Structure 1
Amino acid sequence: MLLAFDVGNTNIVLGVFKEGELIQNWRLETDNNKSADEYGMVINQLFQYEGLDVGEVEDVIISTVVPSVLFTLQHLSMKYFNKRAIVIGPGIKTGLVVKYDNPKQVGADRIVNAVAAHAKYGGPLIIIDFGTATTFCAISEKAEYIGGTIAPGLKISSEALFEKTAKLPKVELEEPGNVICRNTIHSMQSGLVYGHMGMVDYIVKKMKKELQDYSESEEPVKVIATGGLATLIDSGIDCIDHVDKLLTLEGLEIIHRKNKRQK
């Protein structure tokens, strides 16, 4: 079995693959203060609850945008699974040609998403990841990572309103149904959710137009959304073609296959 870690600023998503098939996944809170032993105990309990044997884990792969957690998970991998984890970063085979000015600046999660989306849907592509930040990535039909956009995520925007204002409360991130709202909570939900939908719609339209300069075919640009809030945003706009919440885990499994012999 393969154990895959997708470490974000807010959550860690774990996936277990058996013979290339995702058989189980979980979501944990990212905690910089947790030790390898604490994470190890949690993972042991999750495996036991699902009737899985940690002894069957043959490989571990990690994608992280939180450097402080990386050492912890690498230590966990050696102590609990006796495996040296594959870490997404320089030197790892992905099949992508990264056109960023400095390829090292591209987040590991964005690379992994691009690998999975291009393998599943072909190109050209726009990939939107609704995480702590909302990221947009443009991929050509030749598997070139061209670049993208980074915007504050919905949760960050919501927390900023609460923390930086004296009277505005915390609100649930859901559609209020109207943009002309008659109370503060609905007014905030409207601005946050519908404002984010409008941003996504505008950036996708502009990105599709710019992608024409990199395309040698007439293939339409497919828009793939992932991340915890993808379904909420997709419900109010028409520019997203597919919502694929397990995209990053699937990308990790693909990259593992490309790098298995290098270990």
Structure 2
Amino acid sequence: MCESNSTLIVDAGNTRVKWTLFKGDRITDKWAQETPSKDRIGSPKNIVLASVRSAEHDAVLTSLIHRSFPESMIHSIQSESEACGVINSYVEPSRLGVDRWLAIIAAYHIYGGPLVVIDAGTAIKADFVSEEGVHLGGYIVPGIELMQSSLVSQTAKIRYDAAEVTLEEGVPNSTAGAVSAGCLEMALGFIQRLYAKHEQAKWLATGGGSQALMKRLSIDYVLDEHLVAKGAKFVLDARMKGAK
């Protein structure tokens, strides 16, 4: 039997799947990768899938969710031209990554605008929202690990073991240090340059690697690790109210 006030958000990113359980409007559990069991979370009334993966991957994941929770109602969310009072700036709204879309919806509703959302994972994303709730656009650059792996894969002699990587003080004097510190400096420089142009906005950080970057900079920011999940919940709630 489904729990009437329980919602499971499934955020399928480029490298991992993140699960967030809501009871009403409160987050009560979260984890990554492995599919949750009924023993852990019961049977949520609603399950929301927000994915940046291919249609084939989504079909496999949806089938797995359905087998695990046959009594739950499964909803799929994509980026739209407008949702929950936030306007999408893209000419083709569906091409804005749904993770970015949901994060800015939650950020605007919780914190107001103007704001900048930094989400650092496989890629580092920066999105801008006006005081009126208009998504102005944003940037996507490679994440630190992606920058490092690209250097290794595209060069013949940049090679090192993971154990060699340290964040040294001063100018790095090893290949491992040169790559790791260099990629970190590139990421920090990207964010710092944006801040110099938009320092009057509220700054928010979400995603796995965002805090590690932001705490190295002299930027006042708010850490909210659950913006994507919260945005999905906002969209589902609006959808369910509209269906009544």
TM-score (structure 1 length as normaliser):
0.81
Structure 1 pair 175/260, CA: closer, same or farther in 2 (3 Å)? farther
Amino-acid identity (%): 24
2:76 counterpart (62, 69, 87):
87
1:180 counterpart (147, 166, 171):
171
Q: Check whether the contact 2:79–2:95 (CA below 8 A) recurs between aligned residues.
A: no
More moved, 90-99 vs 105-114 = 90-99
* Residue ranges of structure 1 left out of the alignment (5+ in a row): 29-38, 210-219
Matched, 1:221 2:168: no
Equivalent residue for 1:52? 41
2:26 counterpart (11, 21, 25):
21
* Residue ranges of structure 2 left out of the alignment (5+ in a row): 1-5
Cα RMSD of the aligned pairs, angstroms, is: 2.3
Superposed displacement of residue 172, structure 1:
7.4
Superposed displacement of residue 94, structure 1:
3.4
Higher share of residues assigned strand: 2
State the distance in 1 between where 2:94 and 2:134 align.
Answer: 15
State the distance in 1 between where 2:133 and 2:165 align.
Answer: 35
Q: Check whether the contact 2:160–2:176 (CA below 8 A) recurs between aligned residues.
A: yes
Equivalent residue for 1:217? none
Equivalent residue for 1:32? none
Q: Check whether the contact 1:179–1:191 (CA below 8 A) recurs between aligned residues.
A: no
Deviations 1:58-109 (A, max 9, x none): 0010111102322123223433323342211256843311122221211100
State the distance in 2 between where 1:115 and 1:141 align.
Answer: 13
Equivalent residue for 1:36? none
- In the TM superposition, 1:100-115 aligns within 5 A as 100-115=90-105
Higher share of residues assigned helix: 1
Q: Which amino acid aligns with 1:52?
A: I
Q: How many residues align?
A: 234
Q: Check whether the contact 1:16–1:24 (CA below 8 A) recurs between aligned residues.
A: yes
Equivalent residue for 1:238? 218
Structure 1 pair 88/174, CA: closer, same or farther in 2 (3 Å)? farther
Deviations 1:27-65 (A, max 9, x none): 11xxxxxxxxxx6xx322xx53xx432x3x100101111
